[in-house]
Structure 1
Amino acid sequence: MHDLRKQVLLESGKTQSRKQRSKQGTPAASSAGSPTPSQSGSRVPSRNVSDDESEGSDASAWGTTSLEDLQHEEDAHTPADVVIADLYQRIDAICDRKRSSAEGREIALAGLGVDLQRYVAKAELGRKLDELVPAIMKSVKAGQSDKETVQALKALALILVTSTGEALYTSTARTVQSLVTDSPEPTIKHAAIQAFGTIAFFGDAPEDDIEESMDLLLEIISSDGSSIDCPDNASIVTAALQTWGLLATKIQDLEDITEVAMEAFTDQLQSSDAEVQIAAGEDIAFLFERSYTEAEEDEAPPSPSSDSSDHANGNGPHMIQRYTAHRQPELLISQLEALAQVSSKRLSKKSRRALHQTFSDVLATVEKPTRGPRYSKALDEDGREYGSRLNVAVGGKGGRSWVIDKWWMYLRLGALRTVLQGGLLVHLEGNEGVRDALEQEFAGIEG
């Protein structure tokens, strides 16, 4: 979506939702302050990290990257002992602040990030965390350059993915979240939003903390970034939407916040930026999905004539609607239908295809909330709908695979892809915490 964002900003000068455009006197934000992501799914196979490489990819890239592409990403094939040796060198350089420069720390932090993406270094980190995390937090709090702070935030997120734990959340979360509101630099705010979501998710944040953070993110979304002094910043709004979705997957009961959140997300469907639209659409689909839960044993079973859509993905357990996700579904469906067929010439073919795919999926879920992403109504040999056809596999023949048939899984997988980039499959194969994220919807959450 990098090319799309560039094209949109060049044409419009800013990115606004319908609500923001309707306000009088809203100042136009310069696009110069927006963080610029690298191409989706990029991976740095070399141990030497250039300035351009060290910027890395951000969450914005996820919207237009097919999950099926995960199966075809190239592995750097770097021997583990080489990665481990480099990892320790990077850690030593980061911890030895007295003999390092800002530029040196930028390079070391970026290199650490690459190593943590391509190798599951839980054992290696465990011996260094007590020294490494405080050193990284110094760069987070008082980096001598924006790049140092951004790379520190990315490295911190990768550490949490690799070494999950409440202690790491407690020692890092508040400082990272404060950058979202207090940093004067949009690039740092953007990185902090993404990092905080990962830290809260993998750090087993208390539910009250998660809900408080979701409120902050919703303010950012509703104000088009103005609430944190980044008006009309599409990258900021996209990151807030994606992080809100990630954190929301940890909350069992979303009924009380669905109406307010749905209003904000529906408004963002009017955005002039396709990444914002896609992220909003995915959150909308998730909220519809969450409004249904599996029937209890004492609840009436479905009648023989019940539509298969009352079952999870057509063939699963019987599901019951618990509350209304949207008060005007007909109006929403009309919006989604238009986005699923958008044909604007300002969009590249790839971007149009991404919008069509995303909003076809979202529309299918809004119409039948028990249908997950990539739902197929085609019938199998037994006359049953195939359901969701999106799969991620690791380990080759005989390895593990996941059917991504729920939006909560899809949102989490997208967030993991943002953090791990080309190393996602490596971590799916060797990182228990990453696998649990796709297999256990409410692990560690007290209802």
Structure 2
Amino acid sequence: MSELRRQALTVPGSGKTISRKARSRQSSAASSRVASRQASRVNSRVGSRANTDDEGSSSDGTCYSLDSFAGSAPTVEEELPDPGQHWKEVLGDMVNRICDRKKSSYLGREEALREYAAILSAKFAKEEITRRKSDIIASCLHSIKAPRTEKESLLAAKALALTIITDPSEDVYDAVAQTFKRVITDHDSHLLKCALIHNLSAAAFYGGATTAETEGIMNYLLDIIESDGHSAGAGDDAGVVTAALEEWGFLCTQLEDAEEITTNSIDALIDQLESSEVPVQVAAGENIALLYEKSYTEAEEDELDDATQAGTKWVQRYKPYGRTEELKETLTGMSSGSRRYLSKRNKKTQRSAFADILHSLDDPLKGPRFSEALDKDGAVRGSRLKVRVHKTGILRVDKWWKLLRVQHLKRLLGGGFLTHWTENPIIFESLRYGPWAFCEVPMTRLIVTVCLSSSTRCRSLIA
């Protein structure tokens, strides 16, 4: 992006120049850059979806905290405040306070929205909110459109996101999409823009958007990416561009056929690899890996013999990018973490993420953290990304589409991921595996091992 790339473009010996598009915006954007950088979420977060913390690893280095893959959101194992035995009554009271705006002050609404979000994170409360859901959504939208404070709008956005994922329905997208897009474009708060970009994709995915509408949202997000945030009124803001990249990739996982959208977007994603901000680079790189993965589909019956002879049941339908070897050279340089201005932590993040992405371009059927090393039985280790969702819980993520969906869920649910993982059926549906009932035992005795591969049955094991 014009400002964010500047550091990278001026590194001695880089030999790179600023794009024509970026130069044409410099004069008009100069006055807004200082304010944009000050408001940017990137100034207060460390973008790191790759493994950046050794303490999240198991003894063989293959188990990572889910927090490693979702920016600065709280860890899955974070203990949320206990709503207490009477949480249903408290939730009902908070819903009344949120919906009855005439009798509440903005301070009262902020308190009610905060408590409502905390309860919806800690408890799966679909039955408790269904009857008032339309009123809750309407009130949250009012707080987003015309808040007294930025805090009220951010809390309303959080409450609305949790409402969407707790009780998805076919009419949610139509109810919120236009408001979200208008506020993203017009509001001054970059934090609110980021929150609503995440909410917009959640509403599209869980709230009844058609394929055409989903592609329309992806094009809207692509405009933000291509314009370096300017189309959303957040020129050169790394947080906003990162959010757009993350949610573009999340929505892309839903598409059956991604050939046309790959053609229309791959250059913009590659362009973002030049950013000096690691979160932007990694989000763009993960999307590129996803597009290469999606260029393969399962072989049809008449193709099965040839595919089997080649050692796979998958067939590449199209070439995602015409200059793959050139792209690999770029990714190879990034996987070395050689940019001198990066911190030690960001270099580690960059090396880890782009080594994975480069490996997937060599073989798109191998997902993140794929290892060619042999185990003690002489078999290839394969996917090693086992994300810890609890002290005794393991979630295996062996495809890029799975990683992007898990990251999205983590951004929405934060510390409430485990509760929704065990009780909310939308989690199972979004990760594409069938019904699975947990045994009725205390969670302290439950070991959850989830294999997201479609060929493997999910099981629950008792400690």
TM-score between the two structures when normalised by the length of structure 1 = 0.81
Change (3 A) 1:211 1:10: closer
Task: Provide the rounded CA distance (Å) in 1 between the counterparts of 2:93 and 2:118.
Answer: 13
Deviation by residue 1:15-54 (Cα, 9 ceiling, x = unmatched): x9954785245133121232368668xxxxxxxxxxxxxx
Report the CA distance between 1:169 and its aligned residue: 2.1
Partner-residue secondary structure (3-state), 2:315:
strand
Taking the TM superposition and a 5 Å limit, the aligned residue runs for 1:209-248 are 209-248=213-252
Which stretch has the larger CA shift, 19-28 or 353-362? 19-28
* Structure-1 residue corresponding to 2:412: 419
Paired with 1:160 and 1:178, the residues of 2 have a C-alpha distance of 19
Q: Which residue of 1 aligns with 2:444?
A: none
Look up the SS of the partner of 2:357 in the other structure: helix
Kept in 2: contact 1:137–1:152 (CA 8 A): yes
Tell me which residue corresponds to 2:124. Answer: 120
Q: What secondary structure, in the 3-state scheme, does the structure 2 residue paired with 1:110 have?
A: helix
Residue 69 in structure 1 maps to residue 65 in structure 2: yes
The answer to whether the Cα contact below 8 Å between 2:298 and 2:315 also exists between their aligned partners in 1 is yes
TM-aligned CA deviation for residue 79 of structure 1: 5.8
Q: 1:96 to 1:10 in 2, by over 3 A?
A: farther
Return 5+ residue gaps in structure 1 as ranges.
1-7, 41-59, 312-317, 442-447
What letter corresponds to residue 32 of structure 1 in structure 2?
A: Q
Give me the whole-angstrom Cα distance separating, in 2, the residues matched to 1:79 and 1:228. Answer: 37
Determine the C-alpha separation between the residues in 1 that align with 2:81 and 2:39: 36
1:32 corresponds in structure 2 to 38
> Which of 135, 140, 147 is equivalent to 1:143?
147
| Correspondence 1:172 to 2:210 | no
Query: Structure 1: how far apart are the matches of 2:43 and 2:90?
Result: 25
Superposed counterparts of 1:319-334, under 5 Å = 319-334=314-329
Give me the identity figure in percent. 36
List runs of 5+ in structure 2 lacking aligned partners: 9-15, 54-62, 67-74, 435-463
Please tell me whether the aligned partners of residues 5 and 274 of structure 2 are also in contact (alpha carbons under 8 angstroms). Answer: no
> Is the 1:237–1:276 contact (alpha carbons within 8 Å) kept by the matching residues of 2?
yes
Kept after mapping to 1: 8 A contact 2:291/2:320:
yes
Please list the CA deviations of residues 72-128 of structure 1 after superposition, one character each: whole Å capped at 9, or x if unmatched. 723247265254344333222212212222233223222322222222111111233
The question of 1:433 aligning with 2:430 is answered no
Q: 3-state SS of the aligned residue for 1:386?
A: strand
- Where do 1:333-412 residues align within 5 Å? 333-380=328-375, 383-392=378-387, 401-412=394-405
RMSD: 2.9
Partner residue, 1:256: 260
More displaced 10-residue stretch of structure 1: 346-355 or 74-83: 74-83
Q: Report what 2:280 is aligned to.
A: 276
Q: Could you give the per-residue CA deviations for residues 1-24 of structure 1, whole angstroms, max 9, x where no partner exists?
A: xxxxxxx89989xxx995478524
Shift of 1:387: 1.5
SS of aligned partner of 2:41: coil
Partner-residue secondary structure (3-state), 1:244: helix
Distance verdict in 2 for CA 1:220–1:198, change over 3 Å: same
Residues 1:131 and 1:257: Cα distance change in structure 2 (over 3 Å): closer
2:248 is paired with a residue of what secondary structure?
A: helix
Would you say the 8 A contact 1:378–1:386 is kept in 2?
yes
For residue 295 of structure 2, the aligned residue among 287, 291, 295 is 291
Query: Within the alignment, does 1:23 sit opposite 2:23 as a pair?
Result: yes
Shift of 1:167: 1.8
Does the CA-based 8 Å contact 1:417-1:424 persist in structure 2?
A: yes
- Does the C-alpha gap of structure 1 residues 361 and 9 become closer, same or farther in structure 2, counting only changes over 3 Å? closer
Instruction: Indicate the residue corresponding to 1:445 in structure 2.
Output: none
Counterpart Cα distance in 2 of 1:276 and 1:376: 26
Cα offset, 1:215, TM superposition:
0.6
Paired residues, number: 401
Q: What letter corresponds to residue 128 of structure 1 in structure 2? A: R
